[in-house]
Amino acid sequence: MLTTADGPLLAVFSSVARLGSFTAAAQALKLSKSVVSERVRQLEERCGARLLERTTRRVRLTSAGTEVLEAATRMDDALGLVTRSLEVGRREPSGVLRVSTTSDLGPLLVGPVVARFVTAYPRVRVEILSDDAPGELLESRVDVAVRLGAPKNSTFVSRKLAVLSEPIVAAPALAVRWAQATRPRDLADAPWVRHSLVSSATLRFGGPGGATEEISPAFRAEANSGTTLLSLLLNGAGLGVLPHHALREHLHSGRLVQLCPGWIWKTVTLFALVSSRASLSPTHKAFIAMLQDQLAQDHSRWSP
């Protein structure tokens, strides 16, 4: 009975059958004629049948030899198909891509990019994992992380995508009450909301000419996701800060109002994290390139 271990014997037999000569097969395979003859003999022994009729000048396939040659040809074709598929995979994006992001970056950036990506590269399947709390990328088998803030994992390559500011905003009704404020210290007694990842009770702001101010406001509510924090702001729960990308439409429509223009809580970096080895693959390169293209197309959101 033949097994996958007989592949080398089948390769030699196929060469002899196609070239019609042990000598020609030996030359093509760069083996001695005796080695070629021995491998054909071993294959015939494994099959329990004569595969070739030998003459002084030519060899001829027996009926069993014809069946074995057809099987060997099918095996060669299958291996060729796998090889070509692997070569395409090395050149073009393919496989599963796991992308980690936050609750607000998901719908505003990662979702639109992934929609374009899977349309452009149908051999790719993408899984999006949205969580504001930073997790361990290796443990969650994440390929690319699209997040805000300074990357802390040195085993990953960081690609800086944009730098965003976080202004002070409020719903119109609250903004009217604090409209006379010109600097953060004027807002120290106002109600505030915050993201639960902001653990400090003190907020430090930067202003014109490098000026800085710190306040310790009373936080009326907090949320563990950016989208829920945005809802608190829109519904007047308090003053707060969020990156500009999440505020743009609401500031333009008047649903939120910026307070103390020129003052911001901080600037935050939007980055993509990719493992150093994965960053060389066509899939990861193409995804990062499409992220950068999306940012350029929506320039007013990501580069205010």
pTM (2 d.p.):
0.66
| Mean predicted confidence (pLDDT) in 67-72 | 81
Cα-flanking dihedrals φ and ψ of residue 34, to 5°?
-65, -35
pLDDT at residue 277 in the model: 62
Residue 142 contacts residue 136 (beta carbons within 8 Å): no
pLDDT at residue 139 in the model: 55
Q: Is the dihedral of CA 180, 184, 188, 194 positive or negative?
A: positive
Query: CA-to-CA distance for 109 and 97, rounded, in angstroms?
Result: 16
Structure letter (DSSP) for residue 254:
T
pLDDT tens sequence across 113-141: 999 999 999 999 999 999 887 766 655 67
Cα-flanking dihedrals φ and ψ of residue 93, to 5°?
-60, 135
The residue ranking higher by pLDDT, 48 or 257, is 257
Q: Which range, 132-136, 157-161, 195-199, 233-237, is most confident? A: 233-237
Q: Which range, 138-147, 172-181, 267-276, is most confident? A: 172-181
The residue ranking higher by pLDDT, 106 or 57, is 106
| Mean predicted confidence (pLDDT) in 87-99 | 77
What mean pLDDT, rounded, does the chain reach? 87
Q: Which residues, at least 6 apart from 274, have a Cβ–Cβ distance to it below 8 Å?
A: 143, 144, 156, 157, 159, 284, 288
Query: CA-to-CA distance for 51 and 64, rounded, in angstroms?
Result: 6
pLDDT at residue 176 in the model: 96
Q: Please check the confidence at residue 85 and state whether its pLDDT lies above 60.
A: no
Q: Which range, 20-24, 194-198, 261-265, is most confident? A: 261-265
pLDDT at residue 135 in the model: 64
pLDDT tens sequence across 286-301: 999 999 999 998 888 8
Residue 174 contacts residue 180 (beta carbons within 8 Å): no
Q: Which helix (H) or strand (E) is 199 found in, with range?
A: none
What is the percent of the chain where pLDDT is above 70?
87
Instruction: Give the least confident one: 20-34, 95-109, 173-187.
Output: 20-34
Structure letter (DSSP) for residue 4:
G
pLDDT at residue 177 in the model: 95
pLDDT tens sequence across 212-243: 999 999 999 999 999 999 999 999 999 999 99
Dihedral in degrees, nearest 10, Cα atoms 291, 140, 282, 277? 120
* pLDDT bucket at 43, cuts 50 / 70 / 90: confident
Q: Please check the confidence at residue 92 and state whether its pLDDT lies above 90.
A: no
Q: Residue 28, Cα to own-chain centre: how many angstroms? A: 45
Angle between helices 7-19 and 63-91 (to 10 degrees): 110
Query: CA-to-CA distance for 38 and 26, rounded, in angstroms?
Result: 11
Residue 204 contacts residue 231 (beta carbons within 8 Å): no
Q: In terms of DSSP H, where are the helices of 48-124?
A: 63-91, 105, 111-120
Task: Quote the longest CA-to-CA distance of the chain.
Answer: 108
- The token pair at 91 is 């050149």
The residue ranking higher by pLDDT, 59 or 117, is 117
In the block, tokens 């074995």 appear at 68
End-to-end CA gap in the chain: 71
Q: Which residues, at least 6 apart from 122, have a Cβ–Cβ distance to it below 8 Å?
A: none
pLDDT at residue 18 in the model: 84
State whether residue 287 is helix, strand or coil. Answer: helix
Cα-flanking dihedrals φ and ψ of residue 238, to 5°?
170, 180
Q: Please check the confidence at residue 159 and state whether its pLDDT lies above 70.
A: yes
Could you give the domains of the chain? 4-91 (1.10.10.10), 95-161+274-293 (3.40.190.10), 163-269 (3.40.190.290)
